A = this chain, B = another copy of it.
Amino acid sequence: MRPWPVNGVAFGGDYNPEQWPRSVWPEDMELMRRAGVSFVTLGVFSWSWLEPAKGEYEFGWLDEIMDLLDANGIAVDLATATATPPPWFSTAFPQTLPVDHDGHTLWPGSRQAWCPSDETYREHALALTGALASRYHEHPALAMWHVSNEYACHNLPCYCDTCAAAFRRWLRRRYATLDELNEAWGTAFWSQRYTDWEQILPPRRTTSFANPTQQLDFSRFGSDTLLDFYQAEKQVISERSPGVPITTNFMTMAGFRLLDYHQWASHQDVVSTDHYLVDTLPDQRAELAFADDLTRGLAGGQPWMLMEHSTSAVNWQPVNHAKWPGQTIRDSLAHVARGADTLGFFQWRASQSGSEKFHSGLVPHAGADSDRFREVCELGAVAARLGELVGSVVESDVALLWDYQAGWAASGPAMPSSQLEYADTGLTIHRLLRERGVTVDVVHPGADLTAYRVVVVPTLYLVSDENAAAISRAAEAGAQVVVTFFSGIATPDDHVRLGGYPGAFSELLGVRVEEFFPLMPDETVALEHGGAGRLWSEDLREQGAEVLDRYASGPLTGRAALTRRTVGAGDAWYLATLPDDERLGRLLDDVLAAGDVHAVSAAPAGVDRVRRRGDRGSWLFLVNDTTSQQPVNADGYDLVADRLVVGSLTLPPGGVAVIREG
């Protein structure tokens, strides 16, 4: 099913006409047409305008704007409007307010102030969803359903009594008996043995560290609870509006990990996500690429929708930079390069009031007579020309494993080092591979790995026996498998695998680690073959592995830091520390050479390269992430510049080329 009945890459964004007087609406239509907008998302936060009192619906304004959009040829992604209830609801049902870890009620006056387990909320939300689906399922503008908004942001986790009861129900489904739960949670420690289900609570504020498996299960419960809510909304819609695709917008930025999207993805008719650049990251473009490669992994390698990104500045960072001239286009095309077939923005017009009034819009406060809006129009024209590549897929020989549940467990209390942030090692390796022109698929450990020549396993702290075995089989079958420290340590119950680290991968890697020696924030340990490791080191004893490098300082001097073991037709590499970029890069070069993996194309440093391939040919994306012009080799037709390229072209600073090859 193709989600968007539009030509070219669908282009548009969140449209909140209820924020503006009706006199503005005709101008909106004129400017949307000028910009080439082909779709809008309507109604995300409109509940209080659609249902101003219980059961009393006001659909008139929505009818009007739907008709207006249809008349202007703009498709509608219609939201269920259930992301935030109206004030009357919270006033009538105060028990639906979420409660934080310390027991503080989270009051209305912002957004998404509802307990994910609450049945009253669910009833009201489903009623509204049903009313919308019944009313608009045949509207000619309707192209898609948009369920709620950015689930889990900001009402998860909730620690209220309703959630406590729901958590207990969830646990009774997970564990056949209390004995099983006591064993899984390790309640023999600290006198926590449960003798009745009713004794179990969410991991609220405690005197000291809360039970880590309780916390892990509570994270699972939170994700499952909202997924169940999503599925209920989806069912209401699909009964009333069959054939119209349904999605909810994920948040696949590396720093947002409240939901296990690998469990959510299969319930989406099309995977969609939001992406916002974070200025405080050391390399925000690397994070963008990682998030996109993860989103594509969630979509099973198929194209996906970018539901929201920003035209220019956001307003929720400590300091909110506007985008440089041309950056709106560059950022959008960088997403298309990695599989986005839709370019959605939050939001059409920058608000005049409210909490996001300093968030940029396609139409800025300065109005249409502005460079930013002119750039938006230019992007719309480019998006239209990209229609030919819609449906094509991104080529990649490298998989990097990502598991939200491993991340939850690794973020538990009282770990060897609080410096170890689950995403960091994976982001580092991904960044270095991208700098080498190598495209990476970010996939779940349980994904089919047979087609990959290189499989990277970064800090996969928790892993099931099955997935560990599949990773080993990939090496046996010929892949280069690269495992980093703090992988394979724990079972899915967060029990340490005994007998020497890294438990599940010890045999594959031919190493046995007796103790961890995590490093202080500014501490490094020298390596014999140059460079240094940071973050982590280990007392490693090789048991069949070849030593590639050793520590040259510190208490582990002379112990192995980097190893490789030949396994069947492949190799298993182990990083017991996190080398600096130069040393790690050299190792990755060796891995790529061993795996016969090559760059998408040759290009200067700072030029991102990705190839999409479809039935109708292939397209090479060249994105200049530097602030100077860059010469690159290319042959074909550049859909951005709308001209033929023979042999080479020069990318301007921040410029992008999309070359139809052959």
Q: Give the interface size bracket for A toward B.
A: 35 or more
B367 A193 Cβ-Cβ under 8 A: no
Report the separation of the CA atoms of residues A193 and B91 in the bound assembly, to the nearest whole angstrom. Answer: 13
Q: Is A266 an interface residue (CB 8 A)?
A: no
Q: Is A111 an interface residue (CB 8 A)?
A: yes
A111 B316 Cβ-Cβ under 8 A: no
Spot the interface stretch: A219-227, A319-327, A591-599: A319-327
Q: Which B residue's beta carbon lies closest to that of A98? A: B207
Looking at A191, A199, A203, A416, the one whose CB has the most chain B CB atoms below 10 A away is A191
Q: Which B residue's beta carbon lies closest to that of A523? A: B319
Neighbouring B residues of A153 by C-beta, 8 Å: 208
A483 to chain B, nearest CB (A): 18
Neighbouring B residues of A414 by C-beta, 8 Å: 315-316, 355-356, 358-359
Interface bits A358-380 vs B (CB < 8 Å: 1, else 0): 11100011110011100000000
Q: Which B residue's beta carbon lies closest to that of A85? A: B191
Spot the interface stretch: A26-34, A245-253, A509-517, A576-584: A509-517
Find A499's partner among B84, B315, B366 (CB 8 Å cutoff).
Answer: B366
Neighbouring B residues of A85 by C-beta, 8 Å: 191
Neighbouring B residues of A372 by C-beta, 8 Å: 514-515
Looking at A185, A203, A210, the one whose CB has the most chain B CB atoms below 10 A away is A210
Q: Which B residue's beta carbon lies closest to that of A209? A: B355
Given contacts A313-B516, A353-B189, contact A417 B319 (CB under 8 A): yes
Given contacts A45-B191, A109-B211, A358-B415, contact A322 B366 (CB under 8 A): no
Q: Is A467 an interface residue (CB 8 A)?
A: no
Q: Is A286 an interface residue (CB 8 A)?
A: no
Q: Is A140 an interface residue (CB 8 A)?
A: no
Q: Is A104 an interface residue (CB 8 A)?
A: yes
Given contacts A48-B192, A366-B501, contact A493 B209 (CB under 8 A): no
Main secondary structure of the interface of A (DSSP, over half): loop
Neighbouring B residues of A365 by C-beta, 8 Å: 496, 498-501
A226 to chain B, nearest CB (A): 14
Neighbouring B residues of A371 by C-beta, 8 Å: 514, 539
Neighbouring B residues of A204 by C-beta, 8 Å: 105, 107, 109
Q: Is A88 an interface residue (CB 8 A)?
A: yes
B501 A111 Cβ-Cβ under 8 A: no
A421 to chain B, nearest CB (A): 13
Q: Which B residue's beta carbon lies closest to that of A88? A: B195
Given contacts A207-B111, A313-B416, contact A366 B186 (CB under 8 A): no
Report the separation of the CA atoms of residues A325 and B554 in the bound assembly, to the nearest whole angstrom. Answer: 11
Report the separation of the CA atoms of residues A142 and B558 in the bound assembly, to the nearest whole angstrom. Answer: 46
Q: Is A318 an interface residue (CB 8 A)?
A: yes
A518 to chain B, nearest CB (A): 5
Neighbouring B residues of A519 by C-beta, 8 Å: 319
Q: Which B residue's beta carbon lies closest to that of A350? A: B496
Neighbouring B residues of A359 by C-beta, 8 Å: 414
B320 A518 Cβ-Cβ under 8 A: yes
A109 B210 Cβ-Cβ under 8 A: yes
Neighbouring B residues of A100 by C-beta, 8 Å: 205
Find A355's partner among B211, B350, B352, B355 (CB 8 Å cutoff).
Answer: B211
A-B contact pairs, 7 of them (CB 8 A): A107-B201, A109-B206, A113-B207, A189-B354, A211-B354, A315-B416, A322-B516
Q: Which 10 A-B pairs have the closest CB atoms?
A: A186-B353, A189-B354, A110-B206, A48-B193, A154-B207, A87-B199, A186-B354, A209-B355, A84-B191, A107-B204
